Amino acid sequence: MNYRRIFIENSIIFVTMVTQHRASLLIDKFDLLIASINEVKQYYNFEIIAYIILNDHCHFLLQVEDIKKYPKIIHSIKYNFKKNVGVATPTYHKIWQNRYWEHTIRDENDLYHHIDYIHYNPIKHGYVKKVNDYRYSSFAKFVQEGYYDEEWCNFDDKHNVINCNYE
């Protein structure tokens, strides 16, 4: 199957990476995932604008200096995580699904919608009742920078994001 990726300079990419067979391991290996991302940052210039790490998948909003390199960045994160976990295979496929889902952010409204979706994810998947109670995301950074109130995702907020599904 041929996949076509869109490469629009200066764009932001929403990425979903899922573990093989939805294995629950990412939260237990959170520090190794962060270390893997930091290793990749030594070779590629990118910023993670927002993120959420759940047991079996994660979402990132990436801003990449050279947009054509974001597939290599994702591959490298997967590969380095596999290496850091200590899986003795030449590829990352024993831990991660072969592919990933991506979406190029179209405009400011689309960006805000995806940021909300990322931070709503632990409620969606039943990890917590309040977003502020979940520590494996960029939510605290967004609260600190004044983008969200600590009590974000009340009933009205939840209504705006509940019908989104980017998995």
Kindly list the catalytic residues.
136
User: Cβ neighbours of residue 58 under 8 Å, at least 6 residues apart?
Assistant: 16, 17, 26, 33, 51, 52
Find, among 68, 58, 49, the residue nearest to 29 by Cα. 58
Tokens of 149: 């109130």
Measure the CA–CA gap between 112 and 90, rounded to whole angstroms: 38
Three-point CA angle 18, 62, 7, nearest 5°:
100
Residues shown for the chain? 167
Measure the CA–CA gap between 32 and 58, rounded to whole angstroms: 14
Find, among 40, 165, 167, 41, the residue nearest to 92 by Cα. 40
